[in-house]
């Protein structure tokens, strides 16, 4: 406790020194006004803790009960059986052998024949003037024309058909067939009915009595305890007068 009082006095002195600018010089130092100390005080108190209490009451509740029930139904199924049937099957193949036949071929031979045609053409020559020609026999600028025969010859192609006997050889198909039986599956089906039963759930309404409990606060559980608390006491310091003690008064700062 003395250490705490001394620390408080040092704190007050430091605060006063900062307020008035330190301890140096006349008027810069102020004497402490209070002398404080801290003591332990024992106080009696009561500590209480809440208590819980459970209260129950009987109630009837509507519930659903699940029961087993047998349910039957008819199941229809199809049953099939397989049998084998053999049928004839003709398989044919073709082979080829050479075959010769006599026939005639026709070829075309092209020759040329000379043909000539005579055409009449008009030939004109200008009139002659001068010495030895009678004046006035022909008009001036008149041409002397006459028709003469002109023969034109050219080659005309002539096609001649010539037949020659030839032997032609070609492949002749020969068909050969054999029997290859085939086994075919035959499927026969029939519908069968069967009675089956299963267990299914069934819901039933019922009433059941149950306890309903709630938790409430009961009387508190209290105990007496002693608490040790710090208490500060200050005495005012008066310089030049008689000292008067003032207990339990807080400092004026």
Reported as a single tens digit per residue, the pLDDT across 3-49 is 334 344 444 444 444 444 444 444 455 666 778 888 888 888 888 88
**Top-ranked range on mean pLDDT: pick from 31-45, 144-158, 193-207, 214-228:** 193-207
104-109 contacts at long range (C-beta below 8 A, 24 or more positions apart): 104/163, 104/164, 104/165, 104/166, 105/163, 105/164, 105/165, 105/166, 106/161, 106/162, 106/163, 107/161, 107/162, 107/163, 107/164, 108/159, 108/160, 108/161, 108/162, 109/159, 109/160, 109/162
> Residue 26 has what pLDDT?
43
Q: pTM score, two decimals?
A: 0.25
> Residue 117 has what pLDDT?
85
The answer, yes or no, to whether residue 93 has pLDDT greater than 80, is yes
All structural domains of the chain with their residue ranges: 90-129+145-180
């Amino acid at each position: 406790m003395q250490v705490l009082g001394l620390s408080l006095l040092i704190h007050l002195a430091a605060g006063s020194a900062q307020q008035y600018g330190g301890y140096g010089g006349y008027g810069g130092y102020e004497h402490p006004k209070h002398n404080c100390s801290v003591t332990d005080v024992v106080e009696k108190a009561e500590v209480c803790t809440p208590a819980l209490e459970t209260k129950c009451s009987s109630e009837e509740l509507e519930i659903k009960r699940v029961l087993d029930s047998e349910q039957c139904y008819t199941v229809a199924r199809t049953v099939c059986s397989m049998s084998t049937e053999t049928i004839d099957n003709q398989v044919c193949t073709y082979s080829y052998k050479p075959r010769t036949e006599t026939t005639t071929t026709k070829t075309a031979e092209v020759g040329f024949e000379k043909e000539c045609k005579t055409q009449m053409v008009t030939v004109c020559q200008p009139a002659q003037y001068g010495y030895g020609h009678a004046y006035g026999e022909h008009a001036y600028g008149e041409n002397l024309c006459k028709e003469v025969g002109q023969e034109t010859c050219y080659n005309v192609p002539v096609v001649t058909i010539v037949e020659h006997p030839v032997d032609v050889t070609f492949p002749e198909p020969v068909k050969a067939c054999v029997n290859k039986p085939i086994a075919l599956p035959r499927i026969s089906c029939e519908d069968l009915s069967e009675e089956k039963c299963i267990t299914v759930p069934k819901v039933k309404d019922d009433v059941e009595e149950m306890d309903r409990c709630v938790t409430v606060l009961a009387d508190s559980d209290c105990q007496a305890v002693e608490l040790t608390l710090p208490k500060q006491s200050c005495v005012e310091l008066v310089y030049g007068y008689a000292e008067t003690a003032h207990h339990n008064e807080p400092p004026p700062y």
